[in-house]
Structure 1
Amino acid sequence: MINLNRLAMFVAVVECGSFTAAADTLGTTKAVVSFNVRQLEEELSVALLTRSTRRLALTEAGERFFQDCAQLLRQAEMAVEQVRSGHSTFSGSLRVTASVDYGNLVVAPALAEFARLHPALRVSYQASSAHADLIAERLDVAIRVGPLEDSRHRANPIGHFKLAIVASSSLLMATGTPASLQAMAALPWLANRSGQTTQWSLLDPEGKPHTIRVRNVAHADTASALLAFVLAGCGVAALPDWLLDEHIKSGRLHILMPEYALPGTEVFAVYPDTRHVSAKVRGFIDHLRDSVARGS
């Protein structure tokens, strides 16, 4: 019978990129990890990794085996969680990913609080602008902002936030505060690289939609980078409310045409569609939803 510990060591080597890093993660020695991976290859009569002085790489068989092992280990962890689900504390590991800005400002603090409440739980947080492969990277939960594209996973709503069109005091001193949608559209705009939209739809106080076309003068791939451009007076941008409070209160930024509203943006917790959802995943999703509700 294949030793599950050897499977876990093999997966750790792939995820960490080296035997040394895997040993550090697992709390053992490089020699132990190397021996067990070598034994696993001998038992399977298949080379899983190609080794050189500079890097490790998966063989074709190793790539397929890694995907299966990662899923098998996840299922084993979930089986343990199901047995322990009646207890008030969570244990094992919880791996969470989120977009850079929303993750660092909203998700990471909530995850830190959740970890403090459950000290037996080992948490891991990964901020990324790209959508991670939950199965391949053995992630438990992804917090995603905006419309969902991946139907292979389950999704629970976490909350929503609003976008506001903002400009700096210095820009408005140079251009004047726009008194109409057309005047606002004529200002230099900044765009999120993932959207690069040149058209915005806003609702007036009666709920009637109005569309404006804008000219983008710069792009950035995160909301915090766009905020830096706005603060420098480079242009106006539509930014999330959770990023703006401090700057609005200080007077460095101003909301333009506040009587017109942009559509809200939904936030979801996405997790693998498995037969049993672990108690720690359900617990964290509930905790994050409560944290977002308290902050709204």
Structure 2
Amino acid sequence: MMNNQLNRIQTFIAVVDCGSFTRAAERLLISKAMTSIHVKRLEESLNVPLLVRNSRGVALTEAGQLLYNEFSEIFINIQSSLDNVAEQYLSLSGTLHITSTIEFGDRFLLPLIGEFCKIHPQLNVSYNAGSALNDLISDRLDLAIRLGVLRDSSLKSRKIADFKIYLVASPDWLEKNKLETVNDLKDVDWIANSNLQTPTHWELNHSTLPSIDIRAKARFNANSSTSIKTMAIAGFGVTVLPEWMIETELQSGNLVRLFPEYSLPKQPVTIVFPNGHQIQRKCRVFIDYLIDKLKL
């Protein structure tokens, strides 16, 4: 009975606010006939007329005015409370567990995480810097950001950006190891990133000449791009590194780009998440944010 009466009062208030039964019905998504029935039943239950129909629409009786004054603000407060509950549910909360490589995290990810947390003040972040692609579930990680083609292609992932990579070596190394043609790269020492699917297998593309397939052997393997850059600057061999990571070294001359007339395929920035788990809303919102804001 109480629910019926509340529905009738809500319909009555809508009629007063809209100024007609037709517009009230449209707002409430019910028929005009049902709108009239609700108001009529409300009047019968109170044993007093609430509305008077006239050529301009409807007018309140004294009792109708009293009822409207008593309940209109109550229903506004109820709707406001419902909106607040919905907003709390939609806003991000809890803890987002993220891992990323140290270099990419420091340069790009951490500033974006900071801005994201300003937008969602109830959200906490647990950040783990590292290159290993661990078991996300056992490590309680929601998302892992990784660079390049992943070794394990079965992982559930989504590409969010691409970046350029360059073939480089130090001036000291180039003085001791003369590279006459691109094919000479097959027979020199390489510094390889062990996180990549094919760390010493690269396709070099030219705008007019045929592509060249390079398959080399690594003398030094590392899972850290910073370590790889350090060894390249030290003159240990040839390597491939992201453009954004060696801009300063190229400008200073500590590293030299090799065969710039050839390009290497762009590499993906990939977000990996646990297999078999429906991705949480906080993760989806964060991924969409990264796609929108990440500029390499």
Q: For the residues of structure 2 that align with 1:274 and 1:244, how far apart are their CA atoms?
A: 38
Letter in 2 for 1:204: H
Mapped to 2, the partners of 1:108 and 1:203 lie a distance apart of: 33
Describe the shift of the 1:248–1:142 C-alpha distance in structure 2 as closer, same or farther (beyond 3 A). Answer: same
Q: Distance in 2 between matches of 1:183 and 1:274?
A: 46
- How high is the TM-score relative to the length of structure 2? 0.61
The share of aligned pairs that are identical, in percent, is: 34
Residue 284 of structure 1 aligns to a residue whose secondary structure is helix
- Where do 1:43-54 residues align within 5 Å? none
Residue number among 220, 236, 248 corresponding to 1:246 in the alignment: 248
Q: Which residue of 1 aligns with 2:184?
A: 183
- 1:137-216 equivalences in 2 (<5 Å): 137-148=139-150, 149=152, 151=154, 153=156, 155-176=157-178, 178-194=179-195, 197-206=199-208, 208-216=210-218
Counterpart CA distance in 1 for 2:103 and 2:272 is 17
Tell me the CA shift for residue 104 of structure 1: 3.6
Measured against aligned partners, the alpha-carbon deviations of 1:1-46 in whole angstroms (never above 9, x if no partner) come to xxxxxxxxxxxxxxxxxxxxxxxxxxxxxxxxxxxxxxxxxxxxxx
| Alignment match, 1:101 | 103
Q: Which residues of 2 match residues 1-296 of structure 1 at below 5 A?
A: 84=87, 87=90, 89-148=91-150, 149=152, 151=154, 153=156, 155-176=157-178, 178-194=179-195, 197-206=199-208, 208-272=210-274, 277-292=279-294, 294=295, 296=296
Distance apart, 1:128 and its partner CA: 2.5
Q: Match of 2:135, SS?
A: coil
4+ residue segments displaced more than 6 Å = none
The CA deviation at 1:171 is 2.2
> Residue 136 of structure 2 aligns to a residue in which SS?
coil
Q: Secondary structure at the match of 1:110?
A: helix
Once the two structures are superposed, what CA deviation does each residue of 1:167-195 show, in whole Å capped at 9, x if it has no partner?
1122234445x342133444432122345
The alpha-carbon distance between structure 1 residues 277 and 216, as it changes in their structure 2 partners (threshold 3 A), is closer
Deviation of residue 98 (structure 1)?
2.0
Query: What secondary structure is seen at the aligned counterpart in 2 of 1:136?
Result: coil
Provide the rounded CA distance (Å) in 1 between the counterparts of 2:200 and 2:193.
Answer: 11
Would you say the 8 A contact 1:92–1:122 is kept in 2? yes
Report if aligned partners of 1:179, 1:257 keep a CA contact under 8 Å in 2. Answer: no
CA distance in 1, matches of 2:202, 2:149: 17
CA distance in 1, matches of 2:278, 2:127: 22
**Are the structure 2 counterparts of residues 94 and 164 from structure 1 closer, same or farther at C-alpha, using a change threshold of 3 Å?**
same
| Shift of residue 277, structure 1, vs aligned partner | 4.0
TM-score (norm 1): 0.61
Contact 1:104/1:127 (<8 A) preserved: no
What RMSD in Å do the two structures reach over aligned CA positions?
2.9
Report the number of matched residues. Answer: 210
Partner amino acid, structure 1, of 2:125: V
Q: Is the 8 A contact 2:155 2:273 kept in 1?
A: no
The answer for unaligned runs of 5 or more in structure 1 is 1-81
Aligned-partner residue type, residue 237 of structure 2: G
Q: Structure 1 residues 275 and 164, CA, compared in 2 at 3 Å: closer, same or farther?
A: closer
The separation in 1 between residues aligned to 2:292 and 2:194, in whole angstroms, is: 31
1:85/1:279 contact within 8 Å kept:
no
Residue 218 of structure 1 aligns to a residue whose secondary structure is strand
Q: Out of 244-253 and 190-199, give the one that drifted further.
A: 190-199
Q: Distance in 1 between matches of 2:106 and 2:252?
A: 22
Q: How far has the Cα of 1:166 moved from its partner?
A: 0.5
CA distance in 1, matches of 2:271, 2:201: 28
**Structure-2 change in CA distance of 1:90 and 1:194 (3 Å):** closer
Q: Note closer, same or farther for the CA distance 1:194–1:133 as it changes in structure 2 (3 Å cut).
A: closer
SS in 1 for 2:131: coil
Mark the runs of 5 or more structure 2 residues left unpaired by the alignment: 1-84
- Superimposed CA distance per residue, residues 44-87 of structure 1 (whole angstroms, 9 cap, x where no aligned partner): xxxxxxxxxxxxxxxxxxxxxxxxxxxxxxxxxxxxxx965765
